[in-house]
Structure 1
């Protein structure tokens, strides 16, 4: 009931991921990233602890493959989990257990990895990888292109109700964390895409406000001229 793509930008070193699902608030449970370390998704019948555990192992110096192998060997109920990750060198790792729901698949490309379950068909992850590879612009732009491509390729077997984009740069907090946690009759992917369109040109200023507000621009908010 989920499809996602994780990526590392070779130019900036940023990590990010996009995800959508028929379940509510999918990004709150499934999306995890850490600046300078990597990005991880824990999905299907989700155990939200596994994303941070993958990141902890990669922060300790393990490759994506080594971190994934350690989690698969030690986590309970691993047959129900679908996991994806990318490390600081852009290496990818995947796990899809024996009890993944419905039609599922994964795909990998340069600096990216995609996966999903309860899909309309098993070509959805490859469509996302292909769209990411063919896209241009910032990492956020390319992630949105991949998420739209997954939807346009068929997406889930049923309607999606939530979506999210998570991206980290050089700080301990996300440089972008945009979510649509539930909609009934509109597209959550387009809601996140619109949020990114609005947020992207302002993102550098919000980062600067945190790092040194003396140099940060104002956006004309009353009392903040």
Structure 2
């Protein structure tokens, strides 16, 4: 009951993913992305324990295809058919697997630097719309990932609708450049876009603050830039 996109930006070397689903807290269960090495998404009837294993293999230099094969063997023949997994490695190679026990419409599209996947989608056009949305969008990786989710939603999204979403982007640092989540919202993708619009001007602030803790509060930073923000 999920659709997602996993990608690498060739220009910046950033890795990121965006995801939407019906159940709550999808951002805590499925995405596993790290700087320099890539990442993976383990969704559908996913096992979050596969995420750290996949990251460890990517860190060891395994290719996306090799990581996927190792995860398949680790999970076993009975469990793997319930999973939907996407992997991207440090070079932007991708690999994906959609188990036979996933609900229709189910499937994935894997390309260099980008992979999309979904299960229990309303039609077979959603995945292609997501890929097109990502490839046609300009700008930073976070925007392109959101554009992919929006295209999937507009093409029909899930059979049961979507109420939870997440956006994660990693770059040079050990912590995420962007890590935003929406839960129990009738329009989680729209809300995710709104939150990113609020957060984007603050990214330089949050990058500076760890090494310069005397910086003014984020509210003062907003005022300095003339940006509205805070609770609605």
| Range into which the TM-score falls when normalised by the shorter chain | over 0.9
Aligned to 2:146: 144
What is the DSSP-based 3-state SS (H/G/I as helix, E as strand, rest coil) of the residue aligned with 1:98?
coil
Q: Is the counterpart of residue 174 in structure 1 residue 176 in structure 2?
A: yes
Aligned to 1:83: 85
Matched ranges for 1:1-225 at <5 A: 1-76=1-76, 77-183=79-185, 186-210=186-210, 212-213=211-212, 218-221=217-220
How many residue pairs were aligned? 220
Aligned partners of 2:205 and 2:218 also within 8 Å: no
**Cα distance in 1 for residues equivalent to 2:216 and 2:109:** 41
**Cα distance in 2 for residues equivalent to 1:50 and 1:88:** 18
**Cα distance in 2 for residues equivalent to 1:48 and 1:177:** 18
Aligned to 2:230: none
Structure 2 segments unaligned to the other structure (5+ residues): 225-232
**Cα distance in 2 for residues equivalent to 1:81 and 1:107:** 16
Instruction: For residue 156 of structure 1, report the CA deviation from its aligned partner.
Output: 0.4
What is the DSSP-based 3-state SS (H/G/I as helix, E as strand, rest coil) of the residue aligned with 1:197?
helix
Structure 1 segments unaligned to the other structure (5+ residues): none
**Cα distance in 2 for residues equivalent to 1:4 and 1:150:** 9
* Segments of 4+ moved more than 3 angstroms: 214-222
**Cα distance change on mapping 1:107 and 1:215 into 2, 3 Å:** farther
**Cα distance in 2 for residues equivalent to 1:52 and 1:114:** 21
What is the DSSP-based 3-state SS (H/G/I as helix, E as strand, rest coil) of the residue aligned with 2:81?
helix
Aligned partners of 2:164 and 2:183 also within 8 Å: yes
Structure 2 length as normaliser, TM-score?
Answer: 0.90
**Cα distance in 2 for residues equivalent to 1:180 and 1:116:** 19
Aligned partners of 2:15 and 2:170 also within 8 Å: yes
Aligned partners of 1:161 and 1:182 also within 8 Å: yes
Instruction: For residue 221 of structure 1, report the CA deviation from its aligned partner.
Output: 4.3
Structure 1 length as normaliser, TM-score?
Answer: 0.93
